[in-house]
Structure 1
Amino acid sequence: MGDYSIYTGVKKTFSIVDYACFGATLAVSTAIGIYYAIKDKQSIDSKNFLLGGRQMSIVPVSLSILVTSFSATTLLGMPAEVYTYNTMIWWMCLSASIGLVIAAIVFVPFFYNLNVTSIYEYLDMRFGRGIRVLGSILFLIKALTYMAFVLYVPSLALNAATDFSLWGSVIAVGTVVTFYTAIGGMKAVLWTDTFQAIIIIGGLTAALVQGLRVVGGLEVAWTVAEERSRIYFTDFNIDPSTRHSFWGFVLGGSILWVNLSTGQTQIQRTSSCSSVTKAKLAMLISAPFLAAIMSVCCLLGVAMFAFYKDCHPLKFNNLISRSDQILPLYIMDILGHLPGLPGIFISCLFSGSLSTLSSSLTALSAVVPRDLIQPFCCKRIGDKMLTILSKVIVVLSGITTVAFAFMVSRLGGILQATYTVASITSGPLFGLFILGMFFPRANKWGAWAGSLTSLGMMCWIGLGAFVTRASYVPPSSFITSGCNWNVTQSTLVDVSPATLGITTQFTSNVTGTDLNNTSIPSTVLSIYKMSYLWYLPTALLIEIVVGLLVSALTGCTKPEDVRPELICPLVDLLCPFLPQSWRERLRFHKTTKRPNETNGATDTNHHLVDEATTSFLRDRDLWENEFLPDTL
């Protein structure tokens, strides 16, 4: 074991074979994009570029949903969270599974049957063009901010742990993902995601198997972690200030994953399937695989802790300076003697980035032209020009992401604030859809007031928590007595927020000793101490309450005046055991002749109702056939 970094004080570096493996991953992704660009060179259909012609099979869509559900920050953050704190983060598997199932049953069929390319078209149908623009702008801010974070942070962690070129990896990954997304469209993205899913599974498996072999097996690693208080699942505190608790994950975390699974990136993928049944199955199938990958990440954290149990490398001998750099260092330690395997694992990390970036780029290529350009200045734009415009948006978004990554690198400790801003926008944005789908009496004024109030409150809470560090929880203690190089030995290490890196977003309430005395002033507002898991539920609650109150004050929308396909049939989903006649009385989307209907024909001048929507109107039992089992 003498050649490990914790005994030599020297980091291992990439071999030529490792660079070749990393380069091969980028080359294959590029080749897939070129293949579909050549194959579809005669196609000018924008839906072919943005939705794969709605003819994609379940396998690539399901694997794309899987790898889009996490990024390299997740692959880095979850093992580091277990290593730094404990295994409470493992409950995230339950949150993700619940969220994906709800999304598949409720939201996927809803948007699929509307046959929209951008989900923000729904906001126009329900609340008007202004709300559509507001939602699109919020998504644009969130997507560009998060893409810069996803592109830069893994590259930074990798550079610090392995001396892999920081800006070389940023520019290479940014260029490749922009290129194959722009020329190949949705088909290229789905099949590159499929390839990247294989790389991710292979890389994680190799790391886990070798990591457990080095420490003597799973039982030994688990015992060591349990003895040092890293195995912990039983925090059932309902207090919202508890960073990680069972109820925080089951309630707050599940809502968070419903939001993640129903955004433009995921709905655009499910909409590429050839039927609504396949769309639902694609998301349902991805749920157990996502839970399995998260479990492997947590097990990696256990094995990693057992490996470094007596010599925590953070802040010692300049090995690493942040906790999110521990995993790359660990991979180089346990796999560095096997040429090619470190390269495969690093390809695994960047495959997570590629899939997330390509998903966001395709989403932006649908949202920006259709929601922010076409309605205002290019209403009569042809389908060919719309396709070209979408490709141009991909290129511009890719360039902007690399530029944002450079800006982020200059902000230092603001990295956490960047991620916080991206998270804060999700609540008000998701709340607009909840208000429209489940509350037929809500009107556009309620939507405006609710979303802006929710956004303002969450900005105040999130930024206030960041500035005051009210939600900071010091990590558990570490031992360094086993380190053999010449450093000052101590039992515990520096646990200031600067050492935590991105994992401050994944903290727990099991505390260790804080050597820097980073105590929270008693004057800090209690709301700043709220766990990030409760941010989204809080934002939704504010938006719904304010939205319904303002709607009532300004004149509620009459349920019978709302087009039936714009309201989710929640009664059918929650109460399938009730007789059909009872459910019809409880539904908001009753068969009522509206002022804009003449002789049963729906007025399509105000809102375009396509074939799928018209079919929906003709067959009011479609939801029952899709969702509900046969009942007596």
Structure 2
Amino acid sequence: MSPAILLTFLVVYFALLLSVAYFTSKKSADNSTFFVANRNAKWYMVAFGMIGTALSGVTFISVPGAVGVSNFSYFQFVIGNAIGFIVIAYVLLPLYYRMNLTSIYTYLEERLGHKSYKTGAMIFLISRTIGSAFRLYLVGIILQRYIFDAWNVPFAVTIIICLVLIWLYTNKGGLKTIIITDTLQTFFLVLAVVLSIYFMADGLGLSVLGAFEAVKESSYSTIFVWEDFLGSKNHFWKHIIGGAFVTIAMTGLDQDLMQKNLSMKTIGEAQKNMLTFTGIFIVINLFFLSVGALLYIYAAKNNIDVSALLTPDYLYPEIALNYLTILPGIIFMMGLTAATFATTDSALTALTTSYCVDFLNFNKKENPNDPALVRVRNYVHLAFSFLILIVILAFRVLNDDSVVNAIFTAASYTYGPLLGLFSFGILTKYRVNDNLVPYICLASPILIYLLNHFVVQPYTSYNVGFELIIYNGLLTFIMLLITSPGKQVNPERLPTEQAY
């Protein structure tokens, strides 16, 4: 497909997003609007828009591409995700609403101490910056290969263009704008995956029902892996347990997705949002796995050498842009762009919110909406855009793995201490040695990494999968317990319904 056609589509797409940003921020663009959308968001819009944020371009590209190696076993992980979302809805959200939080990490200050609070917030900033960079990197390499390489545009310039466009439509309205744009982008994402199934079926000479039947009858549709618990990363229990804890950490302890939940008026609306989101999330992932199976069936039928691709992440764009007609190619680019930018714009807003509240103490200012503070927020927003650019360029040099694996591996190390901190606060009534918390949260992932790479891998048959985050969080929890002064916290200081 002509790069000029794809570029024209992107220009029109971003013009639409900028129009939405203009109308949502022209009346009010203060910090309350940016951080929590004035706590007036509609739960059904947030639920639908969160799909685009949670899935991202990783799901759009890497999940279908991985079907060739792991079949539908990823769906076990999705089931674990669903369990994690339910825990978030009925354990974490009530806690956050009782405390009326803007940044969820202020819980740590109330429960554990000042240094614990700053440590938790810093872990989020590092984790979300890395994760967002990985996700934007994915769409960047696709845009580079299929559009900008035609004009010899450097990869760094491609990423800069993406980040500038995202900054332009998020820097004023923040969360209020993103709730609208993410709803729009999720619609495009869902439409793209449904139409992709239709076009793939048509390319195979099948009806849509016939395509699903072909997927069902293929070897790719195998979901459950029960054999070789030690050696297989895809074993059922590893995916279920790992999926649940990854979700609790990467969603429930992550300012990005929780910020959207905190934008609603009541806890009941927030819980309806999470449960509705969970149902849609499961169905959409099944659709993406089906797209992956159809891609491999199509490649086999048309003698496409999948092994010649640099990474399985290229399979979907290769077929959509080079083997199907113009319309399927545009639909693919629409879905990929919507998925990736829905994630990145949300992450930039959450990173800005966390830094302004957790480190610049906007919530403690006499007038948080002071124009001077709004200007500071804009500078912070720009700084995080630049930081994401730096991480992407570094990842461009170092990455040799599928992006989906890279993201969850990184998350297991960075979010593990956050999981340990919140678990200690919620499950025990003991104090922590607040001065040691930063060192414990740094030591835990380092020790887990060394143990895995120099003991478990060389000397055992155990292959660590997504459950790595559990070991990391558990080690953090144990070290917090061992170093605890052993004194119970006064009940009045515990974040309970009675206390708040």
Match of 1:82?
67
The amino acid that maps onto 1:307 is Y
How many residues align? The count is 489
Q: 1:148 aligns with which of 109, 116, 133?
A: 133
Matching of residues 69-468 of structure 1 within 5 Å: 69-160=54-145, 166-167=155-156, 169-217=158-206, 229-237=219-227, 239-262=229-252, 263-309=254-300, 311-316=303-308, 320-335=309-324, 337=325, 339-374=326-361, 382-384=368-370, 385-413=372-400, 419=407, 420-445=409-434, 447=437, 451-461=441-451, 464=453
Q: Identify if the C-alpha distance between structure 1 residues 247 and 437 changes in structure 2 by more than 3 Å, giving closer, same or farther.
A: same
Deviation at 1:238, TM superposition (A): 7.1
TM-score where L is the length of structure 2: 0.89
The amino acid that maps onto 2:224 is T
Distance 2:3 2:279 in 1: 34
Q: Identify if the C-alpha distance between structure 1 residues 182 and 375 changes in structure 2 by more than 3 Å, giving closer, same or farther.
A: closer
Match of 1:549?
482
Distance 2:195 2:129 in 1: 33
Deviation at 1:39, TM superposition (A): 2.0
Percent identity reads: 20
Which string of whole-angstrom CA distances, capped at 9 and with x for unpartnered residues, describes residues 15-70 of structure 1?
52x433322221111111121221215xx4x2222000001111221123221112
Which string of whole-angstrom CA distances, capped at 9 and with x for unpartnered residues, describes residues 476-495 of structure 1?
xxxxxxxxxxxxxxxxxxxx
Deviation at 1:91, TM superposition (A): 2.0
Distance 1:22 1:461 in 2: 46
Q: Identify if the C-alpha distance between structure 1 residues 38 and 226 changes in structure 2 by more than 3 Å, giving closer, same or farther.
A: closer
Match of 1:65?
50
Q: Identify if the C-alpha distance between structure 1 residues 344 and 36 changes in structure 2 by more than 3 Å, giving closer, same or farther.
A: same
Match of 1:506?
none
Which string of whole-angstrom CA distances, capped at 9 and with x for unpartnered residues, describes residues 390-418 of structure 1?
22211111122123322322335388696
Q: Identify if the C-alpha distance between structure 1 residues 136 and 241 changes in structure 2 by more than 3 Å, giving closer, same or farther.
A: farther
Match of 1:36?
24
Deviation at 1:300, TM superposition (A): 0.3
Deviation at 1:196, TM superposition (A): 0.1
8 Å CA contact 2:493, 2:499 repeated in 1: no
The amino acid that maps onto 2:142 is A
Distance 2:41 2:216 in 1: 46
Structure 1 counterpart SS, 2:306? coil
8 Å CA contact 1:111, 1:267 repeated in 2: no
Q: Identify if the C-alpha distance between structure 1 residues 459 and 181 changes in structure 2 by more than 3 Å, giving closer, same or farther.
A: farther
Distance 2:226 2:460 in 1: 20
Deviates more, 1:249-258 or 1:71-80: 249-258
Distance 1:198 1:140 in 2: 28
8 Å CA contact 2:239, 2:467 repeated in 1: no
8 Å CA contact 2:412, 2:466 repeated in 1: no
Deviation at 1:80, TM superposition (A): 0.6
Distance 1:168 1:25 in 2: 19
Match of 1:22?
10
Distance 1:450 1:52 in 2: 35
Structure 2 counterpart SS, 1:69? helix
Structure 2 counterpart SS, 1:292? helix
Distance 1:424 1:448 in 2: 15
Which string of whole-angstrom CA distances, capped at 9 and with x for unpartnered residues, describes residues 330-370 of structure 1?
212453x2x34422321211211111111211111111122
> Which structure dedicates a bigger proportion of its chain to helix?
2
8 Å CA contact 1:450, 1:542 repeated in 2: no
Deviation at 1:229, TM superposition (A): 3.5
8 Å CA contact 1:51, 1:117 repeated in 2: yes
Deviation at 1:131, TM superposition (A): 1.1
Q: Identify if the C-alpha distance between structure 1 residues 410 and 93 changes in structure 2 by more than 3 Å, giving closer, same or farther.
A: closer
Q: 2:460 aligns with which of 503, 526, 549?
A: 526
Structure 1 unaligned regions, length at least 5: 1-11, 471-523, 568-615, 620-632
Q: Root-mean-square deviation (CA), in Å?
A: 2.9
Structure 2 unaligned regions, length at least 5: none
Distance 2:87 2:471 in 1: 19
The amino acid that maps onto 2:397 is R
Distance 2:427 2:456 in 1: 36
Q: Identify if the C-alpha distance between structure 1 residues 203 and 388 changes in structure 2 by more than 3 Å, giving closer, same or farther.
A: same
